[in-house]
Structure 1
Amino acid sequence: MRNLLITILALLFSFLQLKAQDISLYQQYNGTINYTAIGNTLNAFENNLVREFCEILPSSSADLNIPNSANVVAAYLYWAGSGTGDQEVTLNNTQVTAEEIYNVEYQDSFYGTLTYFSCFTDITNIVTALGNTTYTLSDLDISETLTTNIGYCNNRTNFAGWSIYVIYEEASLPINQVSLFQGLEIINQVEQEKTIVIDNINVLDNDGAKIGFLAWEGDSNLNYGETLQINGNLISNPPLNPSDNAFNGTNSFTNTSTFYNGDLDVYNIQDNIAIGDTSVEIKLTTGDIDDTGVFRADLIILNNIITVLNSQLPDATVSIDYYNNDCYSNTIDLDYTIYNSNSTEVLPENTPIAFYANNQRIAQSVTENDIAIDGFENKNITLTIPNNIPDNFTLTIVVDDDGEGNGTVVELNETNNTTTENIQLTPLPESIELEPLLSCDIGFNTAIFNLTNPLEEITNNSLNSVTFYTTIEDLINNENNIIIPEHYQSTTSPQTIYIKIETEDCADIYQFNLLTENCPPTIPQGFSPNNDSVNDWFNIQGLYDIFENHELKIYNRYGTLLFVGDNTKRWEGKANRGITNQGKLLPVGTYFYVLNLNDNNFKLLTGWVYLNR
C-alpha cells in the first residue's frame, strides 16, 4: 500500500514539476514593514565533512522572535531536499501541504540525472495563531530517494531542510517595500555561472537596503570559485559568509554555521545599489582548480530572494469594471477604477489617464483626488470611437500616461499601468424594405395611417418589442419614437417610417414609405347659409387644402355665372360675379356647379346643389 501511495505521489510530482523554475516576483508588501526568517537543517552533519551517513533527521526546530508590537502580514514555509519531493510535512503537529513544488536537475557524469525539489506554502494563519514560539518541522521523507539512487549519497548531495519567512509590520519601522522572488535555480560543475535579474523594484533611498537568500546544498568545505555578486560588486558578510564562500551552511539570523547544506543569509547592499535603480543583477559562480590540480565545484540551489528597500512611492493600476455600448452606436459608457494598492505613497490628483482604441488615442482624463495608499477612485467616461476604428477593436486604458506615452508620476512599478478589453461594436444593419402604405390626403399632402399594418409582412420575429421612428437617427439614439402608431398623421408624401424590433443581439430594422393620394371629393346636395353655424357653406369634403389648385363655378338655372371660387374662396351662398348681385345672398333655389380639380386623374365634376334658408 505504501509503495502504491509513493507511486501516486511520484506521478503527481511529475506533473507539478512542469511549473516554471526561474526565480521571479511572487509578492510585494508595502508599509512600515520588515521581514525575518527562521529554519533548520535535517542533515546531522555537513556532507563533505562526514561522508558516512545517508539519512536525514526525523525533525528539527527553530525559534521565532519578532517584536511584540509587530503584526504578522504574511508567513511562508519552504522545505527542500533530494529527490522529486515530499508534498506533505508536519509543522507543530499540523499537517501542511505544498501549494507549489519546484524541481531542478543535475546531470551527474556517473549517476545520471539527480533531481532536487523545494516545496512552498502559505502558513500565515499558523504563525498568526502561534506567534513567537518554537517551530518544529517533521515528516519530511526522502528515504526512498536516497535508498533507490546511490548517487545522492555517493556524490554527497543528500540533503533536507526548511525555512519560514515572516513579513511583519511595526509602526516604528520606516516605510519599506519588501519584494519576495522565488523559484529554483542551480549552479554546479556543469553550469558554473548563473545571472538572475530581479525587477519591479524602485530604489528611492538605498539607506538600510538589504537582500536575503534561501539556498540549499552549499558546503563550507567547497569554496572553489564561489562568489556572490550584486550589480557587479562582490559581496560578503565575514566571518559568516566570506567573499569566496557565500553558500556555506550558515544562518545570518542566528549567526551560526550549522545550517548544514543550506543557507539562510541576509546582506546589507546599500553600497551596491543606487537611488533610481529599478532592477538588481545577481550573479553566482562556482568552480575552480584545487591545490592538486583537480577541478572542483560546489552544487548550489537558489530557492528565493527577498529585498527590503525604502521606497515611498505610489503605484497606479487600473481596471475596467463595466462598459455599455448601445446598438448601432459608436459611443461606449465605461466604468473603471484607478488603484494605488501596491504603494508606499499617495497617488496625486491630476494623474493623467489615456484611452486608446487599437493604439489610437481617443480620450484623455485625470484622477480627481489624491488616492491614498491601498485606496482607489471609481470613474466613468463616455468614449466616442472614431469611424476609422473597426467594429472589433482593443480598448486600452493607461494610467499615468499623458497621451504621448509619457508618465508624470514616479512609481514603484512602471510596468503595471495598463488594462485592455476586447470591444465589439454592433454596426447598423441594412434595413429591410416593406410595402408602402397609401391613404387619402386630408390636407396639404398629409394623411392618417395605421403604422402597425406592415408588421403583418414580418414573420421571423416575436414582435414583443416594436418601436416606430420618423428618422434613422432617432432610431439609433432611442429618441422620439411614435407614441400612437395606430393613428399617425404623416407630415409629407412620401414619408419614410422606420421600425425597430428588438432581438437577442440587438435589433432588426425595417422601413416603409407613407404615400398620400388625392381621393374623390364628396359633394353635398344642399346647404343653408343662415348663420346658424350649421351647414352654412357649400362644404365639399376632400376638396380644400387637398386639391389646392381647384376652381369652382356656380350657375343659376338660366346659366348665368354667379360665383367663381378656389382653395381660398369658399361659396357661402353669395354671388361674386355679375353687376347687381355681388356680395348679396342668393335666393332659395337650385344652382348648378362645375368643379375643375385641376388634377390629371380627375375629370370635370358637374351637378346641382339646393340653397335653402
Structure 2
Amino acid sequence: MKRKYNYFLLLWAHFFVFSAMAQDVTFYQQFSGRYDFTLIGNTLNTEENNPTQIFDFLTQSSAELNLSPQQTVLKAYLYWAGSGTGDFDITLNGTEISAERTFSHSRLIFGLPFDFFAASTDITEFIQQNGNGTYTFADIEISEALFQHFPFRTNFSGWAIVIIYEDNSLPINQINLYDGLEGLPTQIDFVLDNLLITNNLNSKIGFLAWEGDTAHQNNENIRINGNIVEELPLNPMNRIFNSTNTITGSSDLYNMDIDVFTLDEFVNIGDTSANLRITSGGDFVLINTVLTKFTTESIDATIEIDWVQVECDNRKIEIDYAVYNLLSNNPLPINTPIAIYANGILVGTTFTTIEITQNQSESNSIIIQIPDTIPSPFELTFSVDDVGDGTGIIIETNEENNDFTVDVNLSISTSLPPIEPFKSCNIGFGRGSFNLEELANQLAEIYEDEISFHENLSDAQLAINSISILSNYQSETPKKLYIRLETNPCSSITSVDLEVRNCPPIVYNFISANEDGFNDYFFIDGLRNIFLNFQIEIYNRWGHLIWKGNQNTEDWRGEVSEEVKWNGDISADGTYFYLLFLNDPDYPKPLQGFLYITY
C-alpha cells in the first residue's frame, strides 16, 4: 500500500549544499570458505524523487529470495535506511525486528540541518528458518521526515538483505563486508583492507547505496585502484547510482542501488588492499554497504588438541594434537611452526613434519614441562603458523583460526591436615566399637571427593579391601587405619589412630537374690573386662562394712563376708551403700551409690 499527499510543492532547482557529518564506511566482517554473496531488497519510494511533484511513499514493499538447492545461508544482515533521524523498530514478514547497529549522516542545506539514517541487524536465524520466498518489509515510521525532505528531493526510504551463502561447488572465496554511512557529493576515498588476493579471476564488488537518481551524469563514477568500473547496460560510467539492481536487472529501484561489478582487471595477485574512490559532480548519494569477493588459492592451517595426559604430582604433560589444512587449495608446507602457550606464556614450540595437502591433516604428540610459576588449572593453547610471538610465516585464507585452547588441571595431590586420634569406649580388654561414618562425614564437609578406609597402607594405595561397614567397626586398640581421598588422577592418603578410653561403668542397683535368673546379684556393666583392678565395698545402713570384692571374687549376692555383728551369713532385705574403686587415672575418686536387695 502507499500514502499519497495530493498537493503541489515547488521543486527547488538549485540550492547551496555542503556536507556536515557522517560515519565512514569501514571493514566489518570477513568470511572465508566456499562462499559467495547476494542481496535482495526494495525501495519504499513510488518513483524517483527528482521529477515528481507529488509527495508519495510506500509503507511496505517486498522482494524475493531464490537461492539454489545447493546454496545454504551462512549469514544474513538486514539493512534499512531513509531520511530523518530514523525508526529502528520495524517488521519483516510480520516479525518485529530492532536495530542492532545504527548509522547516521547529516548535511546542511541553506544552513538548515538535514538528517539521514541507516540501521542493521543480524537476521541469520530468521532467514535460515524461512528460506526462499517473499520477504516483506513494513512498519517503518518516518513520514514526517520524508515530508520535510521532499522540497529538496532528498526524501527516500528502502531496505535490503545481505546474504552470505555456502555452495560446495564454489572455489574457496574470501568475502569482506564493509559498512557505514558516507555521503556524496563530491568524493569518497577509503581503503578496502583485510584482503587476500591470490587469484583475481571471478572477483567482484557489490554496493548498497541510497538516494541516487537516473538523470545525473556528472562524473558519477567508481574507481578501483584508479580504474573506472561500469556494468553495462545498467550502470554506465558517469551514471553509476541510478536506481538499479544489477542482480535482478531492475531499473526501478527508486533512489536506491543494489549494484555488483567485476574486478578481475583492477586488482593484482598478492594485493592485501585496494583503493576505492567514489565521485559525484552533483548527485547526492549515500554509500551504506560494500562487499568484495575474491577467490583465494591459499592455505588455511588449523589445529586441535585431541588429548592431554597428566600424571599425579607431575608438571610434565603429554599432548596429542592434529594440524589440518581444510579450506585450502595449496599444501601446508613442512616445518610450519607451532607455538605452545600456558596462560599466554610460551612454554614450547614444535613444527609440522610433513607437507599437509588439501583436506588432509597430521597427528602428533609432544611432552611439555609446565613451569612452576604457572598455577593449576591453566589454559593450554596450541597456535599453528606461529613462531612463538604471534607472528606467522604463511599467507592463509583465514588468519583468525590458528589457535586451539583447552583447560588443564595438573592434578596435584590434596594435602590432608593431621587427623586427631579417633576414640571410642573400651568394650573390653582394649577393644573398641567405632562409628567411622561420623569421621567420614567430618571429612566430607571439607573434601568433595570419595573417601574410603583401609586397614593397611598397601590396600589404601591400591584402593582395595576398603572397610564396608563404617557404623560399627570393632577392633583391638591401639589401631591405625588408612584413609584414601579419591581424586582423578591423584589420590591422597592419610591415617588415623583408633584409641579407646574407659567409659564409666553402669551400675544396676536392684538385687532380687531368689535364684530366679533375674537380678540375682549386684551387676555392674562395663566393669570386669575394662577396670581390671577395681575394688567394691558394701556397707549397711549403719555404715558397717559387710562385703568386699574385686576381679577375683564373684558378684555380690547378699552374703556377709566381714566381721560384723549380724544374725547369720546373709544380709537382710533393705538398702545398702557401695563404694566402687576403679583404680583408673581418669577416675581418682570412688564411685558411690545405694542398692536395694530383697529375697
TM-score range, shorter chain: 0.5 to 0.7
User: Offset at 1:316?
Assistant: 2.0
1:46–1:112 CA distance, 2 compared to 1 (3 A): closer
What's the secondary structure of 1:247's corresponding residue? coil
1:312-323 map, 5 Å? 312-320=297-305, 323=308
Query: Deviation per CA, 1:287-342, whole angstroms, max 9, x where unpaired?
Result: x6xxxxxxx66240313x33332222231223556656555331345565545454
Whether contact under 8 Å (1:43, 1:57) holds in the other structure is no
Q: Distance in 1 between matches of 2:164 and 2:376?
A: 48
Structure 1 Cα separation of the partners of residues 461 and 357 of structure 2 = 42
User: Kindly tell me: are residues 342 and 273 of structure 1, through their superposed partners in 2, closer, same or farther at Cα, counting changes over 3 Å?
Assistant: same
Partner SS state of residue 465, structure 1: strand
Residue among 199, 206, 217 paired with 1:205? 199
Give the structure 2 partner of residue 260 of structure 1. Answer: 254
User: What residue number does 2:106 align with?
Assistant: 107
Q: Deviations over 1:321-379 (max 9, x none)?
A: 66565553313455655454544556567754331234324242537784654x77776
Matched position secondary structure for 1:274 = coil
| Aligned counterpart, 1:307 | 292
TM-score, normalized by length of structure 1? 0.56
**1:46 Cα offset (Å):** 1.6
Deviations 1:396-419 (A, max 9, x none): 211133557664654212343123
Q: How does 1:100-249 map to 2 (within 5 A)?
A: 101-109=100-108, 110-111=112-113, 113-118=115-120, 121-122=123-124, 125=128, 135=134, 137-142=135-140, 144-147=141-144, 150-163=147-160, 175-181=171-177, 183-188=179-184, 193=188, 195-199=190-194, 201-221=195-215, 227-231=221-225, 233-237=227-231, 240-249=234-243
Distance 1:429 1:225, change over 3 A: farther
Matches within 5 A, 1:359-438: 359-364=345-350, 366=352, 370=356, 372-373=358-359, 382-391=367-376, 393-401=378-386, 407=392, 409-421=394-406, 425=410, 432=417
Q: Alignment partner of 1:106: what SS?
A: strand
Identity among equivalent positions (%) equals 29
1:114–1:151 contact (8 Å) kept in structure 2: no
Q: CA deviation at 1:224?
A: 6.4
Q: CA deviation at 1:434?
A: 7.4
Determine the C-alpha separation between the residues in 1 that align with 2:233 and 2:184. Answer: 24
Give, in angstroms, the shift of residue 232 of structure 1. 5.2
Deviations 1:410-458 (A, max 9, x none): 421234312345656565676756799xxxxxxxxxxxxxxx9x99999
Q: Do 2:376 and 2:410's aligned partners in 1 also have CA atoms closer than 8 Å?
A: yes
Compared CA separation, residues 89 and 407, structure 1 to 2 (3 A): closer
The one-letter code of the counterpart of 2:148 is: G
Distance 1:511 1:363 in 2: 44
C-alpha distance in structure 2 between counterparts of 1:341 and 1:39, whole Å: 34
Kindly indicate whether the alpha-carbon contact (under 8 Å) linking 2:214 and 2:242 is maintained by their aligned counterparts in 1.
yes
Distance 1:218 1:176, change over 3 A: farther
* Contact 1:313/1:410, CA 8 A, preserved across alignment: yes
How far did 1:179 drift? 1.0
Question: Which residue identity does 1:81 align to in structure 2?
Answer: A
CA distance in structure 1 between the aligned counterparts of 2:437 and 2:78, rounded to whole angstroms: 72
Match of 1:48 in 2: 50
Residue in 2 aligned with 1:354? 339
When residues 408 and 333 of structure 1 are mapped into structure 2, their CA distance, relative to the original with a 3 A threshold, is same
Q: Which is richer in strand? A: 2
Shift of 1:205: 1.4
- The letter for the 1-side match of 2:443 is N
Identify if the C-alpha distance between structure 1 residues 282 and 182 changes in structure 2 by more than 3 Å, giving closer, same or farther: same
Q: How far 1:88 moved relative to its partner?
A: 1.5
Distance 1:242 1:325, change over 3 A: same
Of 30, 35, 45, which aligns to 2:33?
Answer: 30
Q: CA RMSD in A?
A: 5.1
- Paired with 1:365 and 1:218, the residues of 2 have a C-alpha distance of 55
SS of 1:153's equivalent in the other structure is helix
Kept after mapping to 2: 8 A contact 1:159/1:217: yes
Distance 1:301 1:348, change over 3 A: same
Q: Relative to structure 1, is the Cα distance of residues 424 and 284 closer, same or farther in structure 2, using a 3 angstrom cutoff?
A: farther
Is this contact kept in 1: 2:65–2:132, CA < 8 A?
Answer: no
Contact 1:204 1:310 in 2 (8 A): yes
Count residues with an aligned counterpart.
439
Report the TM-score, using the length of structure 2 for normalisation. 0.57
Deviation at 1:52, TM superposition (A): 3.1
Which residue of the partner structure matches residue 461 of structure 1? 443
Query: 1:537 matched to which residue of 2?
Result: none
Structure 2 match to 1:84: 87
Greater displacement, 103-112 / 455-464: 455-464
Question: What SS does structure 2 have at the residue aligned with 1:461?
Answer: helix
Partner of 1:271: 265
AA partner of residue 30 (structure 1): G
**Partner secondary structure for residue 380 of structure 2:** strand
Name 1:533's counterpart in structure 2: none
Deviation, 1:174, is 6.1
Give the Å deviation of 1:145. Answer: 1.3
Deviates more, 1:246-255 or 1:269-278: 246-255
Report Cα offsets for 1:177-222 as digits up to 9, x if no partner: 1515154433356x964525341x4222112322222222233456
Deviation digits for residues 143-197 of structure 1 (CA, Å, limit 9, x no counterpart): x3113674343443332334455667778x76241515154433356x9645253
- The separation in 2 between residues aligned to 1:457 and 1:57, in whole angstroms, is 76
Q: Deviations over 1:476-510 (max 9, x none)?
A: xx997597899xxxxxxxxxx99763479976665
Task: Name stretches of at least 5 consecutive residues in structure 2 with no aligned partner.
Answer: 1-22, 422-433, 468-480, 498-599
CA distance in 2, matches of 1:350, 1:80: 49
Can you give the 5+ residue segments of structure 1 that lack an aligned partner in the other structure?
Answer: 1-19, 289-295, 437-451, 487-496, 514-613
